[in-house]
Structure 1
Amino acid sequence: MIEIPYFTALTTYFSYALLFVLGHIRDTFSYLLFRSQTTKGYAPLCRDFEDFYTRRFYRRIQDCWNRPICSAPGAWIDVVERQSFDNNKTLKQTTKVQKCLNLGSYNYLGFAAQDEFCTGRVIASLERFAGSTCSGCLDAGMTTEHEELENLVATYLGKEAAMVYGMGFATNSSTIPALVGKGCLVISDSLNHSSIVAGVRGSGAKVKVFKHNSPEHLEQVLRKSIAEGQPRTHRPWKKVLIMVEGVYSMEGEMVRLPEIVAIKKAYKAYLYLDEAHSIGAVGPTGRGVCEYAGVDTADIDIMMGTFTKSFGSCGGYIAGSKE
């Protein structure tokens, strides 16, 4: 993790605090001057913090976000420049266009734009199988393209078999309840994605959380959970499943995989690895965090990933043993 310098952090917080104080002072004077204009019996329309934040904070810096784009979202994008004559209350587009490097997209490798290798093959497949090929197998049936994709994913990851899904979020939320249930324990990283949280909640399994990316705390939670067993009955858990991500998207941190694999082996638990943001993006040949960290994929029981990031497509996959 990249440490933020204390000077940068303190001055940033000081700037926010100053804006907060000045904003409330201005709002107080405005209220005192114009409160007589408020119709009796009606509540003020703009008194909550969201409105205050929008007017006094976000409006000053809003041109840094929500930028209008006038090109395909590839590795490079054309951004329309804007200008304001009323302190950013309104922004007007100009005729100027600036070419920018796209660092704000999940399209990590640029495949979602015109690509000399992928685009022609995608069009050929659509002409042969029609648009329903992009649906999940349960919706529109299994084709040779689906079989080829699943075999290719399994081979690419070094696993026995794989299943593909039509939606990345559903890959986690619908698979986890099929893997664990009542009498099982899920030990989840505190910053795991909401799709994992949704899947665990829907499974009926008991869930415990360990500190983000902390193998030491994971081992403490795991050891205590195994010693205590299930609540009330204290019977052994049917399954213990550790759930982590390869790259945590909001933090930009990479999982400490070798240490977690060592703990998993020592306590004979299962390991579920979400590689939505790491597959295709890290490793010498893009095979994800296992290749990057030198971990054998045989030590990962369930490998999950999506096609919506590096591969510039839609859907996801689960790879593991055929069983």
Structure 2
Amino acid sequence: MIAIPYFTALTTYFSYGLLFVFGQFRDFFRKILDWWSTDNLQGYAPICLGLEDFYIRRLYNRVQDCFGRPLSSAPDAWFDVVERYSNDNNKTLKRTNNVSRCLNLGSYNYLGFAAADEYCTPRVIDSLKKYSHSTCSSRVDGGTLALHNELEECVARFVGKPAAIVFGMGYVTNSSILPVLMGKGSLIISDSLNHNSIVNGARGSGATIRVFQHNTPSHLEEVLREQIAEGQPRTRRPWKKIMVVVEGIYSMEGELCKLPEIITICKRYKAYTYLDEAHSIGAVGKTGRGVCELLGVDTSDVDIMMGTFSKSFGSYGGYIAGSKQNKSYLPYKLL
């Protein structure tokens, strides 16, 4: 991980503290001046109270023009940003007719596929005209098209697994699949910095959750040994199933998972491996096949491989790749 220089960290916290202190002073004197005035709330309580309201008024409003910038072009490596101005200290922003050409440094469109392309764009338009935007039905009921099967075969072949199943949203892929795979009497051991979709999926599964120190295989082994020895809470029975959940590249840190060491430990203790490759698939490896290719890991050693199309592939949705049994089992359990 890249360490933040102390000077940068200290000056950032100092600036934040300065805004906080001066904001509190202004609010204090404003309360004194407005002591005798009456607020007309018409029976409604304020939506934001306390620190939430303070943060919006005194901190976020000052810099909100840095966020949510309206675009007037495709989100390519370069795009046109609409210029705005404010006459009320950034409480409201008004657009102008001017645009600025800006370099895109905040996009998940790693390979530029989300922009207009002379090869892809016409084919996307043709597919939309032929198949429409949605089937308005679940996959097992009447919503599976030939394109779904073709895409799933392509994904499975690309990542090196026997089968795959695709979903309409990457976040939902994690949050809905983990409750299907794991349940009461099972154990999920999750990296401490896993994405929120994994956290929500683990919580919704009903399984027991334990966390190991971020990207630390030695601590993972300690947790595994301890949990196997103790067994399920209260009954002390053996766990029905144990799954270790990690990310290929951690989304906030940009750090590669120590996958070979983690797989060695999982094999030793007979635990399943769940690999989230949302940020690594398509982006790393000689042919873009993710961390397994980059780190020389056989994909057969990873039990469940999850990924998204919304990053490197410039589209939307997600997938789960694994055994053919998983492909047959998952759609019906998701109903």
> Do both proteins adopt the same fold according to a TM-score greater than 0.5, normalized to the shorter chain?
yes
**Structure 2 vs 1, CA of residues 40 and 101 (structure 1 numbering), >3 Å: closer, same or farther?**
closer
Which whole-Å CA distance do the structure 1 matches of 2:144 and 2:39 have between them? Answer: 64
> Residue 254 of structure 1: SS of its match in structure 2?
coil
The residue aligned with 1:272 is 274
The CA distance in 2 between the partners of 1:74 and 1:140, in whole Å, is 36
Structure-2 separation of matches of 1:281 and 1:12: 31
Moved more, 122-131 or 184-193: 122-131
> In structure 2, what is the equivalent of residue 37 of structure 1?
37
1:43/1:198 Cα in 2 relative to 1: closer, same or farther (>3 Å)?
A: closer
Per the alignment, residue 144 of structure 1 pairs with 146
Q: Deviations over 1:160-183 (max 9, x none)?
A: 111112222222222222322222
* Contact map agreement 2:221 2:265 (CA 8 A) in 1: yes
In structure 2, relative to structure 1, the CA distance for the partners of 1:240 and 1:163 (3 Å cut) is: same
Match of 1:99, SS state, is strand
1:246 paired with 2:241, answer: no
Matches within 5 A, 1:31-70: 31-38=31-38, 48-70=50-72
Is 2:234 the counterpart of 1:221? no
Which sections of structure 1, spanning at least 5 residues, go unmatched?
A: none
Among 168, 185, 188, the alignment partner of 1:186 is: 188
Q: State whether structure 2 residue 41 is matched by structure 1 residue 8.
A: no
AA aligned opposite 2:173: T
Shift of 1:233: 2.5
SS, match of residue 125 in structure 1: helix
Q: Does the 8 A contact of 1:135 with 1:166 survive in 2? A: no
Contact 1:126 1:133 in 2 (8 A): no
CA change 1:81–1:40 in 2 (3 A) is closer
Cα distance, 1:4 vs structure 2: 0.4
CA distance in 1, matches of 2:103, 2:115: 14
Amino acid at match of 1:128: K
TM-aligned CA deviation for residue 304 of structure 1: 0.6
User: Higher mean Cα deviation, 126-135 or 191-200?
Assistant: 126-135
In structure 2, runs of 5+ residues without a counterpart are: 326-335
1:156 is matched with 158
Alpha carbons of structure 1 residues 144 and 14: separation in structure 2 relative to 1, 3 Å:
same
Q: Distance in 1 between matches of 2:199 and 2:69?
A: 31
Alignment of 1:99-138 (within 5 A): 99-132=101-134, 137-138=139-140
AA in 2 matched with 1:209:
V
Match of 2:316 among 303, 314, 317: 314
Per the alignment, residue 294 of structure 1 pairs with 296
After TM superposition, give the deviation of residue 271 of structure 1 in Å. Answer: 0.2
Say if 1:88 and 1:223 are closer, same or farther in 2 by CA, change over 3 A: same
Paired with 2:102 and 2:93, the residues of 1 have a C-alpha distance of 20
Amino acid at match of 1:288: G
- For 2:129, give the aligned amino acid: E
* TM-score, normalised via structure 2 length: 0.88
Aligned residues: 323
Deviation at 1:31, TM superposition (A): 1.7
Identity %: 67
- In structure 2, the CA distance between the partners of 1:135 and 1:191, relative to structure 1 (3 Å rule), is farther
Is 1:200–1:207's contact at 8 Å kept on the other side of the alignment?
yes
For structure 1, which segment, 132-141 or 105-114, has the greater mean C-alpha deviation from structure 2 after superposition? 132-141
Partner of 1:18: 18
Provide the aligned C-alpha RMSD in A. Answer: 2.5
Query: Relative to structure 1, is the Cα distance of residues 123 and 37 closer, same or farther in structure 2, using a 3 angstrom cutoff?
Result: closer
Secondary structure of the residue that 1:93 maps to in structure 2?
strand
Contact 2:281 2:290 in 1 (8 A): yes
CA shift, 1:157, in A, is 0.6
Instruction: Find the aligned partners of 1:139 and 1:76 in 2 and give their Cα distance.
Output: 42
Given candidates 236, 245, 253, the residue that maps to 2:238 is 236
SS of 2:70 mapped into structure 1: coil
Contact 2:136 2:143 in 1 (8 A): no
In structure 2, the CA distance between the partners of 1:171 and 1:39, relative to structure 1 (3 Å rule), is: closer
Asked if structure 1 preserves the Cα contact closer than 8 Å seen for 2:170 and 2:308, the reply is yes
CA apart distance, 1:286: 1.5
2-structure distance, mates of 1:183, 1:288: 32
CA 1:262/1:81 → structure 2, altered by over 3 Å: closer, same or farther? same
- What SS is found at the alignment partner of 1:176? helix
Q: What letter matches 2:15 in structure 1?
A: S
Letter in 2 for 1:24: Q
| Other structure's SS at 2:134 match | helix
CA gap of 1:33–1:188, structure 2 versus 1, over 3 A, is same
| CA-to-aligned-CA distance 1:79-131 (integer Å, 9 cap, x gap) | 01223344434433222211112222232222222112222222233333333
| Cα pair 1:226 1:237 within 8 Å, conserved | yes
